Amino acid sequence: MIDDPVVASDLGAQWPYALATLLFAAGMWLLLPRGRRGGRRLGAGLAAAGLALLVLLVHFGLTIHDRPPRSVEFTVPFPALGSWAHDGVFLILAVLTVGSAICSVTFRSPVYCAIWFAMTLLGTAGLFFYQGSQFLGVATIVVYAGAILVTFLFVLMLAQPEGHAFYDRVSWEGPLAACAGAVMVGLLTMTFAAAFAPNTEQQGSPPRYGWLEPAIAAEAPAARNENILATEHVASLGRTLFSTHLIAVEVAGTLLLVALVGAIAIIAHSQKTDASSITNEPAALRPRSTGGAHG
Partner 1 sequence: MAEIQLVYDYLVVGALLFGIGLVGFLARRNMIVMFLAAEMMLQGVSVSLVAWGRLHNHWGGQMLVLFILTVAACEAGIALALVLSLYHRSGRLDIAFWQTLREANQPAFVDQELPDEAHPKPTWPELPPSGIEPRVDDEILVEREHRIHV
Partner 2 sequence: MSNTGFDTDVLMVLIPAFPLAAALIIGIFGRYVLGERSHWPCVLAIAASFVCSCLLLNEVVSLAHESHEGHGVGLEITNTLWTWADVVDAYRPAAPAAGSPAIAPAEANFNIDITLRADPLTCIMLCMVTFIATLVAIYASGYMHGDPGYWRFFAYVSLFVFSMTSLVSVSNFALLYVFWEAVGVCSYLLIGFWYEKPEAAAAGKKAFLVNRVGDFGFALGVFLIWTTYGTLNFHDTTAPDGSIVMGVLGQARLSNPALFVGGATATLIALGLMTGAAGKSAQFPLHVWLPDAMEGPTPVSALIHAATMVTAGVYLVTRCTPLFYMSPDAQMVVAVIGGFTALLAGLIALTQNDLKRVLAYSTVSQLGYMFLSLGTGTLIGIVGGMFHLFTHAFFKALLFLGAGSVMHAMHHIIDMRRFSGLRHIMPWTFRTFWFGSLALAGVVPFAGFWSKDVILAAVHERGHDSGVFEVLYFGALFTAFLTAFYTFRALFMTFYGPTKVPHEAHHAHESPPAMTVPLIILAVCSLVVGAWFEYTHGFAAFLVQTPSLAYAPVYGEHGVHQDVFHWDIAITSTIVALAGVGLAAFLYLGPRTEVTRLGEFLQSPVGFRVYQLSYGKFFIDQIYAVTIVWPLRLLALLSYWFDRWVIDGLVNSVGRIPAAIGSAIFRPLQTGMVQFYGLAMMMGLLFLLLSMLIWQPLG
Phi and psi dihedrals of 18, rounded to 5? -60, -40
* Binders of partner 1 in range 130-149 (CB under 8 A): 131-133, 135-136, 139-140, 143-144, 147-148
* Binders of partner 1 in range 210-229 (CB under 8 A): 212-213, 216, 219, 223-228
State the Cα–Cα distance between residues 111 and 95, nearest whole angstrom: 22
State the Cα–Cα distance between residues 88 and 82, nearest whole angstrom: 10
State the Cα–Cα distance between residues 78 and 97, nearest whole angstrom: 20
* Binders of partner 1 in range 42-71 (CB under 8 A): 51, 54, 58-59, 69-70
Decide: 221 and 71 in contact? Cβ < 8 Å: no
The nearest distance, CB 282 to partner 2, in angstroms, is 12
* Binders of partner 2 in range 187-216 (CB under 8 A): 187-188, 190-191, 194-195, 206-208, 211
Cβ distance to partner 1 smaller for residue 1 or 37:
37
With CB under 5 to 8 Å by kind, the binding choice for 1 among partner 2, partner 1, none is partner 2
- 176, 165, 53: which is closest to 113 by C-alpha? 165
Length of the chain: 295
With CB under 5 to 8 Å by kind, the binding choice for 131 among partner 1, partner 2, none is partner 1
With CB under 5 to 8 Å by kind, the binding choice for 2 among partner 1, partner 2, none is partner 2
* Binders of partner 1 in range 156-215 (CB under 8 A): 156, 158-161, 163-174, 176-178, 180-182, 184-185, 188-189, 192-193, 196, 212-213
Decide: 115 and 100 in contact? Cβ < 8 Å: no
* Binders of partner 2 in range 24-63 (CB under 8 A): none
Is 234 near partner 1 (CB under 8 A)? no
**Distance between the two ends of the chain, CA-based, in angstroms?**
59
Is the sign of the CA dihedral 242, 244, 250, 255 positive or negative? negative
Three-class SS of residue 60?
coil
Cα–Cα distances in Å, from 88 out to 47, 54, 75, 96, 284? 21, 16, 17, 12, 53
The nearest distance, CB 87 to partner 1, in angstroms, is 7
The nearest distance, CB 290 to partner 1, in angstroms, is 8
Is 13 near partner 2 (CB under 8 A)? no
C-alpha of 119 from chain center: 12
Q: What is the DSSP string of 271-284?
A: TT--GGG--SS-GG
Give contact residues for partner 2 (rule: CB under 8 A). 1-2, 11, 172-173, 176-177, 180, 183-184, 187-188, 190-191, 194-195, 206-208, 211
